[in-house]
Structure 1
C-alpha cells in the first residue's frame, strides 16, 4: 500500500530530520570538535612508524572518511533508487552516526586518541551515508510541485536547529556552572558532544516515526541494487562526451571544490593552532560565518543575474584565492574574523552557483516533450565528484602539513586549486537558456 503524498505530518517529519542531523555538521565537523581535537593530542607524534602533526592527522581522518563515503555512494544510491529499503538504511546510518558522536565524550587525550579518531570517522560516514536515503524520500512523500518548497523547509530547519544547539553549547562552554559543570577541565566541551548525539538521535527518531515504512521489492537483491548505482554513474560518464560544456564545468568544479571543502573543514583547527582561538571564540566565528553565508548565496545569485553564472563564479574564485593569500599572512584574531566573514560570503555563494550552473548544462528533465529518467543520475555523479574532490584536497593538505609542519603553507597551496578552477572555467561556455549543447550542436 502506497503512502499518501503531501501528508502534512509526513512532510514535517521529513524536514525535522534536517533539524536533527545538521547539528553534527555544524558542531562536530566545524565549530567545537576540530579545535578540541587539536588541543587534546600532541602537536607531533608517530603512528606505525610515520610522523604526523595533530592537524595533518585530522585532515587524514576526513580524507579516509570521504574515501569510504565516495566508494559507498554509488552502492547506496542504487539501493535508494531501487526503493523498498530507504527507512531501514536511514535508521542504520543515523544510529551509526549518533553512536560515533556520543563516543567522542570519552576522548580525553593522547591515550584515547583512537576513540576520538574512530568516533569522528563513524559519525561522518553515518551523517553522509544517511543523506542519500533522506534525499530519496522526497519523491516518495511529495508531489513535484512541492519539491522546492519542502527542500527549502528542510534546509531552513537544519540551519535554525543547528545554530540553536550551537548557541546552547556556547553558553555551556562559557558558563559551565549554570549547568552544574566544573569550570576547569574539558567536561563542558565533552558534554557538548553528548548533546549533539542525543539531539541527532532523539529528533531523528521522531522523524523516522513519521516517514513511510519500507515496502521491500521482491526479486531485487542487494547486489542488483549496488550494480544499478555503479551502472548509472558509468552511463553519465559516457554521456559526458556528448555534453562538452558539462564536462568542462565538472573539471573546473572538481578543482575548486577541493579547495572550498578543505578550507571549510579545517578553518577552525587553523584558527586554534595558528592563532590560539579559544573554543568560545570559534563558536562565535562559526555563527557569524553561517549568517553571512545565507546573504552570500543571495548576493551570488544577484551577480549571476547581472552578468551571468560564469562571471559570478570568477568573482567567487578570485575572493577564494585572496582568502588563501591573506590566511598565509594573518597574525591577529581580528584579521581572522574578517577572513572568516569573507569565507562565509563565498561559501554559500559558490556552492549554490555551482549547483545551478550544473543544472543548466546537463540534459533537461523534459527533453523534446519526453520526461527523462536519468536526471537524478547526473546529480549523483556531481555528488560523488565532490566527495572525491574532498578526498584529494584534504589529503594534499594533510601531506603538506605533515611534510612542512606549516598549516599556513598548506592553505597557500590550496590557492592553486582555485586558480586551476579559473583556468578550466575559461574554456567553459554556458549555453543560452533553454538549450543544452551537445557535441553535435557546437559550432565548428
Structure 2
C-alpha cells in the first residue's frame, strides 16, 4: 500500500530527523569534540609501531569510519529494499550512533583514547549509515515539485536545532556551576557529549514515529535478503544506462563532495592549529557558520527555483573554490570569521541542492513517475559516492598535512575538487518540474 504523498505530518516528521542528528554533526564532528580530542591526546604517539599526530589520527578516524560504511551501505540498502526494512535500518543506525555518542563521556585522556576513538567511529558510522535510508524517504513521501523546499527545510531545521543545543553546550562549558557541575577538569565537556546523544535519540524516535512503516516482504532470512539486495543493486546499475543525467550528476557530485565534506570535518582543527583559536572561539565560529547556513539553504532553493538546479550548483561551487584559495592566505582571526560566514552560506545550500537534484533525475523524479520500490538502492549510489569522496578527501588532506607540515597546502588542493565538479557538471542537464 503506497503512502499518501505530501502529507503534512509526514513531511514535518521527515524534516525533524535533520533536527535530531545534526546535533552530532555540529557538536561532535565540528565544534567541541575535535579540539577536545586534540587536547586529550598527545601531539605525537605510536600505534603498532606507526607514528601519528593527534590531528592525523583524527583525520584517519574519519577515513576509516566512512570506508566501513561505504562498503556496507550498498549491501544494507539492498537488504532494506529487498526485505522492506528502510525504517528498521534507519532506527538501527540511529540507536547505534546515539550510544556511540554517549560513550564519549568516558574519554578523558590518553589512557582512554581507545574509548574516544571507538565511540567517535561508532557514532559517525551510525550518523552516516542512517542517511541513505533517511534520504531515500524523500521520493516516497513527496512529489518532485516539493523536493527542493522540503530538502531545504530539513537542512534548516537541522541547523536551528543544532545551534540551540550548541548554545546550551557553550553555557555548560563556560558556566558549569549553572548545571551543578564541578568547575574543574573535563566533566562539563563530557556532559555536553551526553546531551548530544540524548537529543539525537529523543527527537529521532519522534521523527521515526511519523514516517511510513516498513512493508515487510517474505524472505528466508538475512542471507536471502542480502542476495536479493545485491541483485537489486545490479539491476539499478544496469538501469543507470537509461538515466545518463544521473550518472553525469554523480560524477560531479563525487568530485565536489570530497572538498565540501573535508572542509566541514577539519575546519576547526585548521583554525586551532594554524590560527590559534581556543575552544570557546571555535564555538562562536561554528555558531556564525550555522546561523548563516540557515539562510544559505533557502537561498540555494530560491536560486534553483529562479534559475534551475544547475545554475544554483555552479553558484555554490564557485564560492567554495574561492573559499579554499582565500583560506590559504588567511592569517588573522577576523579574516577566518568572515571566511566561516562564507562557508555557512554555501555549506547547507550545496548539500540541500545535491540531494534534491539527484532525486529529480532518478526514477520517480524528473518524469513524475511513481517512486520505485528500489529507491533506497538508487540513493545508495549517491550515498556511497559521498562516503568514498570523504575517504578520499580526508585521507589526501591528512597525507598532505603530514608531508608538508602545513594544513594550508591541503586546503588549497581542495579547490581542485570544486573545479573538477564544475567541469563534470557542464555535461549535466536537469529539467525542473513546474511548481503548483
| TM-score above 0.5, yes or no | yes
Say if 2:260 is the partner of 1:260: yes
Equivalent residue for 1:41? Answer: 41
Structure number with bigger Rg: 1
Report 1:80-229 matches (<5 A).
80-86=80-86, 88-134=88-134, 155-206=155-206, 216-229=216-229
Distance in 2 separating the partners of 1:312 and 1:150: 17
CA contact (8 A) 1:38 1:272 kept: no
Provide Cα deviations, 1:146-176, integer angstroms capped at 9, x if missing partner.
Answer: 9768766655543332221111001111112
Cα deviation for residue 414 of structure 1 reads: 1.1
1:250 aligns with 2:262: no
8 Å Cα contact 1:236-1:381 kept in structure 2: no
Change in 2 beyond 3 A, CA 1:106/1:201: same
Partner of 1:22: 22
The TM-score, its normalising length taken from structure 1, stands at 0.84
Q: 2:241 & 2:12 partners in 1: Cα distance?
A: 41
Q: What displacement does 1:121 show?
A: 0.2
Aligned equivalent of 2:272: 272
Q: Residues of 1 paired with 2:80 and 2:422: CA distance?
A: 35
Rounded Cα–Cα distance in structure 2 between residues aligned with 1:88 and 1:133: 9
- In 1, the alpha carbon distance for the partners of 2:206 and 2:292 equals 31
Between 312-321 and 192-201, report the one with greater CA deviation. Answer: 312-321
Give yes or no for the alignment of 1:327 onto 2:312. no
Q: Distance in 2 between matches of 1:16 and 1:355?
A: 17
Instruction: Work out whether residues 159 and 294 of structure 2, in 8 Å CA contact, stay in contact via their aligned partners in 1.
Output: no
Aligned position for 2:410: 410
Instruction: With the length of structure 2 as denominator, give the TM-score of the two structures.
Output: 0.86
Aligned equivalents of 2:238, 2:300: Cα separation in 1: 32
Q: Which residue of 2 aligns with 1:394?
A: 394
Counterparts in 2 of 1:245 and 1:214: CA distance versus 1, 3 Å: closer
Unaligned runs of 5+ residues in structure 2 are none
**1:31-78 CA-partner distances (Å, limit 9, x unpaired):** 111111122212222222222222111111111111111112122212
Q: Structure 1: which 5+ runs fail to align? A: 435-444
Distance in 2, Cα, partners of 1:407 & 1:111: 27
- In the TM superposition, 1:355-374 aligns within 5 A as 355-363=355-363, 365=365, 371=370, 373=372
Contact 1:76 1:129 in 2 (8 A): no
Match of 1:312 in 2: 312
Give yes or no for contact 1:65–1:125 (8 Å, CA) kept in 2.
Answer: yes
Q: CA deviation at 1:216?
A: 4.7
Say if 2:37 is the partner of 1:32: no
The offset of 1:184, in angstroms, is 3.6
Distance 1:18 1:432 in 2: 27
Q: Which has the higher mean CA deviation after the structures are superposed, 223-232 or 413-422?
A: 223-232
* RMSD (CA atoms): 3.4
Indicate the residue corresponding to 1:64 in structure 2. Answer: 64
In 2: Cα distance, 1:312 partner to 1:9 partner: 29
Residue aligned with 2:274, SS: helix
- Deviation (angstroms), 1:398: 1.5
